[in-house]
Chains A and B, each alone.
Chain A
């Protein structure tokens, strides 16, 4: 079945460092891809998305490009802040046998940013 693989965390960075969190996927069709973020004590929030190959999603300084040839959707940010400390989940949309969509999540990557 379809699946999402993320780099294991935790990722620990100093403020203003460059961030990359790797995400690769396996899918039989042409899924949409998402990054969600979970701040401490909260639910998940949609960070960005891309619906087709070569699309770039971006939000709050984060960006990710849908690479069909490498089946990847890596998350990047040029200069992280302490407030970016959170758990980041990569996800893809998939179709149920009944024709309904569902999201498949990676295991999550915890990011800790220090001053």
Chain B
């Protein structure tokens, strides 16, 4: 069964900490994405990557960075966590959105205190 795996379901971090969210996919997909999900706002794209070592900013990249050293792994980094980054974070991958859509991970609920 193909899947996208996010390393943590729940995380609690302190303000100012550096936080790493990990995502791994086993479908050999070229494209990987990080979204955050907030009530009433739906999903908002933070960053995406269309190839190893490549990255592009999404709609809300401020306060975040990403790393893609291997095709199957895409990491989201909060350089200095703040309380307004408390959210659900969803990773997704795709070969092409036109035909197959995205495959999502189960999400990481991050709380910054």
The segment from A11-19, A65-73, A78-86, A93-101 that touches chain B is A93-101
The segment from B66-74, B75-83, B98-106 that touches chain A is B98-106
Q: Which of B10-41 contact A (CB under 8 A)?
A: 31, 33, 35, 40-41
B7 adjacent to chain A (CB < 8 Å): no
A49 adjacent to chain B (CB < 8 Å): yes
User: Known interface pairs A43-B90, A46-B101, A51-B98. Does A105 touch B50 (Cβ–Cβ under 8 Å)?
Assistant: no
What is the number of contacts between chain A and chain B, taking CB atoms within 8 Å? 61
Chain B: minimal CB distance from A102 (Å): 6
The answer on a CB contact under 8 Å between B42 and A34 is no
Q: Which residues of A does B touch, CB under 8 Å?
A: 32, 34, 36, 41-46, 49, 51, 89, 93, 96, 98, 100-103, 105-108
Q: Which residues of B does A touch, CB under 8 Å?
A: 4, 31, 33, 35, 40-43, 45, 48, 50, 56, 58, 90, 92, 94, 96-107
Instruction: Point out the residues of chain B lying under 8 angstroms from A101, CB to CB.
Output: 31, 94, 96-98
Instruction: Point out the residues of chain B lying under 8 angstroms from A100, CB to CB.
Output: 31, 48, 50, 56
Instruction: Point out the residues of chain A lying under 8 angstroms from B99, CB to CB.
Output: 32, 51
Instruction: Find A32's partner among B4, B35, B98, B106 (CB 8 Å cutoff).
Output: B98
The answer on a CB contact under 8 Å between B4 and A43 is yes
The answer on a CB contact under 8 Å between B41 and A107 is yes
